[in-house]
Each structure stands twice: as C-alpha cells, then as structure tokens.
Structure 1
Amino acid sequence: MLINPLKDKLQTLKLTGFLEALAEQEPTPALWVDLSFEDRLGLLVDREMAVQENRRTKRRLMAAKLRQNATPEDLDFRSSRNLPKPLLQTLLSGQWIVNHQNVLITGPTGVGKSYVAEALGHKACRLGYNVLLVRFPRLFQSLEIARSTGKLLTLLKMLARQDVLILEDFALTAITSEHRQDLFEILEDRHNIHSTIITSQIPRPDWHERIGDPTLADAILDRLVHGAYTLDLKGESMRKTRVQSTSQVDS
C-alpha cells in the first residue's frame, strides 16, 4: 500500500498517535530494519494507545471541574503544613479508590486543603477515574433547583456514579433538615461503592454538632468517617503568605 493513502486512512480513522509515530519512523528506515513487523507495529499501536489515554485524561479533568491547577508534583511537604509524605504517597497510588475509602481534610482557611484535595482528584483522573468537585453551598443550591424542577433523582444518580466526589467547605454554613437528608442520600448511595473527599475548616470532632439532628448525624458520619484517611493541615494561610511575598517584592 502506498504511504500517502495509508496516512489518509489513518487520519480518517482518527488514529493520530499511530500516524505521528509512523511519520517519525518514515525518514529513518535504517533504524527500524532489525525490528520484526510485529515489534514495529507494536510501537505504533503503543503510541496510539498513549495518545488516546491522554485525550481521555484531558476529558476527565475538564469534567471534574477542578478549580486550581493542582498536581501531585506540586504538593508542598514543608513541615509547617503537617502534610505527611508517606500518607500522601499512599493516597497518590489510588488504592483508596479501589477500596472505596474516603479522605477527610481539615484545617484553617488558606492552609491548602482544597489544593491537596484537587491534587488527589487530578491523580485520580490520570488513573482513569471519573471525578467531580463541588462546594457544599453550591451542592445544596443545585439540589434545591433540581427538586423544584423535578430533576432531583437525575442529579442524585449523577453524584452517585462519580468514582471520586470532592465536596469542599463541609459544614461551613448552616445545614437545614432538607440538606441533611439530601447529604445522607448522597453518601448512602456512594457508601462502599465509590470514594469521597471532604474538606472543612471545622475540626472533625465538631462535625456531629454542626450537622444537627443526632440520628442523621450519626448515619452521615458513619458513612464518611469509617475507614477514612484523615489529614489535619496546619500552618499560616498560604494566601496570606503569598500576599506578604508580593508586598515585599513590590516594596
């Protein structure tokens, strides 16, 4: 087969990785002469698989709605953050997702809770998992709108099927009785099936009181806390530190 018609067919099939690898091999045939047909074909197929996986990862990252460009490589392990490197390395392996465990991240405002959560979400996307991030206030707004428009079940199903659901700012605002029930339904649907990451400024011992109703609080926390990994971050606000650094540079 002539090379140009072959390239046209690869383009039509959208096998761009295969096409790119073939174009790289084409000018230097002597480099590949010792390879068998199967080995050379394998190199082309491997490139196509890598390109397709990269494309899928980009789609997962877009769908996740991560708000920061937080990656595992940029995590700050300075001692002042109380960010245990061995634990983070364990979490970055993704085994907690396989085991359907949760991650609970607490600490003062600006200390990097969201950054850590989103770095874990970023890694999960790379590992092939579907991820969604939503702040609790926005979650409850969406649930209220869905309820009023008859789409509550659709929204609950969408939340239930996420491999990793990142819920930020837990218990930052008052939780109504309706919100408590909604939260229970979400966590019940996900319990022992998928993983959830929670971030909160509120210390974990105070969560029960902030949720309100003792019976529902017990049920919610049982599904959240049992078997979960916990990170309690400390230190100065990273936002405050950045502002101070900028002021020093400007002066």
Structure 2
Amino acid sequence: MLTHPTLDLLHSLGLHGMAKAFKDLDAQSEARSLEHAEWLALLLEHEKTLRQQKRFESRARAAKLRHAASVEDVDYRAIRGLDRALFLKLAAGDWIRARHNLLVTGTCGVGKSWLACALGNKAYRDDFSVAYHRVPRLFAALALGRADGRYTKMLRAIARLDLLILDDWGPEPLDADQRRDLLEIVEDRYESRSIIVTSQLPVDRWYEIIGNPTIADAILDRVVHNAYRIELKGESLRKQKQTAQDQPVS
C-alpha cells in the first residue's frame, strides 16, 4: 500500500485525525481484513474525535475560568442554601439554549464564583462558547478599549458568546461610562444570549449600584427578566475549611 503519499494527501487536506488513524490501522495486520466501508468509517470516526477534542480545548482556553470547577464536584452537604435540584437542572444547560440568565448572590466565600465557573465548565463541554470576566477588570479593559479604538470590537466579541459570566458585581457604584458599558452588554444579549451574574449584594440593591434610574431600569429589566436565581447563605466556606484544618487531631 502506498502509505506515504496517502498520508501526505490527508495532512495536506487538514485531515490529521484520519492520517493518524490510517497509519495506526496500516500497522495492524488484522485491520487489513476490513471492508473498504469499515476502514473508511474508522478513519472518519478518528477525524471526528480529534476535531471534537480540539474544539473542546479551544473552548476551554477561551473561557478563562477563574476556578477549575466542575458540576460533578459540587458539595451539596455544605450549609449554604444551594438547591440541588435547581443546580442539576441548570447543569443540563437548557436555560442557555432558552437564552435565560442566572443570578447568584450571597456573602463573601460561599462559593458564588466557583459555582458559576462549574456551570461555565459544563457549558463549554456542551459546546457553548463561554467567557469569564470579573466585572471591575472588564470595565477597566473596556475603558482602555475606548481609548485605543478596540471598544466596538470588544463589545462584538462579548455579544457573540453563548454564555457570559460576570463575576463580582458591585458593591462599588458605577460611573457614567461603566453604566453605559453594562447597558451595551446587556442590550446586545437580551433574549439572544445568556449571562451569569454573581454578587455579594442581593438583587434588590443592584438598582442603587447602577445609580442612574433610567439606565438602572433598562439594565435590570433585561437581566432579571426570565432569570433563575441562586441565593446562597451562611458563613464563608473558606473560613469553615480553615477552622476544620485548625482543629486538633484527637
């Protein structure tokens, strides 16, 4: 069999999964008894698997999640008011397909960011495009983009995401530019893409953080409408973990 010309042709066509499978199968004597259709099916399956893996890796890099969290590792035993049934429903991803939002609130350390990243991880594993942003850093980046001409391009990139994670919203009041930035982001995504917002502040205090009543009404109407809510309570999980570690061994 003319192995090398075939391999070269597969590589030149960008079919690297098929090329590797072709080489592996050619080295197996038992594979030579396969029918042409069976051989081709195996090559195509390897190509599909390789492309899926590359797409997954690309999604993971682009997401830039703060925590290496996964929905399979969520601790439902922690006393923080997490509704297991609701979280498992969210993990299925239908709310993203329906273009709904999710609001996660609670005091510092109860796991808001970790849960948001776990859902983000599951989303990109399900082939959604995801990006994580801490709100203060996102506003700073947009301010730089406004100054150097990248602002519109940055907003377009955010608008295309299937799931945008806005972590650590509040408690600092927004200035005029930040209010406009947030309105642009929310308006672009309203009923077309999903957002997760995490905040130490309860939702009923977000209005005062935005500041301008007209813009606050516009933003909250679009974010809160059709949004799921996770309201966490209790002490910091980090503090609880540290206390457990400090306990003397009996």
Relative to the length of structure 2, the TM-score reads 0.89
Q: CA deviation at 1:207?
A: 1.4
Match of 1:6 in 2: 6
- 2:189 aligned partner: 190
Q: Counterparts of 2:24 and 2:245 in 1: how far apart (Å)?
A: 46
SS of 2:138 mapped into structure 1? helix
Does the CA-based 8 Å contact 2:81-2:233 persist in structure 1?
A: yes
Checking the alignment, whether the CA contact within 8 Å between 2:26 and 2:32 is kept in structure 1 is no
Q: Which shifted more, 219-228 or 80-89?
A: 80-89
Task: Measure the CA separation in 1 of the matches of 2:249 and 2:134.
Answer: 34
1:56-103 superposed Cα distances (whole Å, 9 cap, x missing partner): 111111111112111222122225132222222222222111111111
Q: Identify the residue that residue 89 of structure 1 maps to in structure 2.
A: 88
Identity %: 42
**Structure 1 position 46 matched with structure 2 position 23:** no
Partner of 1:18: 18
Match of residue 159 from structure 1: 158
Tell me if the contact between 1:70 and 1:122 (Cα under 8 Å) persists in the aligned partners. Answer: yes
Matches within 5 A, 1:27-46: 28-30=28-30, 33=33, 36-46=35-45
Quote how far apart the aligned CAs of 1:138 are.
Answer: 0.7
The 3 A distance-change label for structure 1 pair 136 and 36 is same
User: 1:133-187, CA deviations, whole angstroms, 9 ceiling, x for partnerless residues?
Assistant: 1111111111221222233222222221211111011122221122112211110
Distance 1:26 1:73, change over 3 A: farther
Structure 2: how far apart are the matches of 1:244 and 1:36?
A: 64
Q: 1:207 to 1:178 in 2, by over 3 A?
A: same
Aligned twin of 2:170: 171
Q: Which runs of 5+ in 1 are unaligned?
A: none
- Give the distance between the partners of 2:96 and 2:218, measured in 1 at CA: 21
Contact in 2 for aligned 1:137/1:173 (Cα 8 Å): no
Q: 1:247 and 1:79, CA in 2 relative to 1: closer, same or farther beyond 3 A?
A: closer
Residue 118 of structure 1 corresponds to 117
Letter in 2 for 1:107: G
- Decide which moves more: 144-153 or 198-207: 144-153
Q: Which runs of 4+ in 1 moved over 6 A?
A: none
1:235 to 1:36, Cα distance in 2 relative to 1, 3 A? farther
Deviation digits for residues 33-75 of structure 1 (CA, Å, limit 9, x no counterpart): 4x54323322321221111111111111111111211122212
2:130–2:162 Cα contact (<8 Å) kept? yes
Shift of 1:9: 4.0
Residue 147 (str. 1) matches residue 119 (str. 2): no
- Tell me the SS of whatever aligns to 2:169: coil
Larger mean Cα displacement after TM superposition, 11-20 or 161-170: 11-20
CA RMSD of aligned residues (A): 2.4
Task: Tell me the distance in 2 between the aligned counterparts of 1:37 and 1:85.
Answer: 50
The count of aligned residue pairs is: 250
Q: Is the Cα contact below 8 Å between 2:71 and 2:119 reproduced in 1?
A: yes
Alignment of 1:217-228 (within 5 A): 217-228=216-227
Distance 1:38 1:225, change over 3 A: same
Distance 2:135 2:177 in 1: 14
**Structure 2 stretches lacking a partner, 5+ long:** none
Asked if structure 2 preserves the Cα contact closer than 8 Å seen for 1:101 and 1:228, the reply is yes
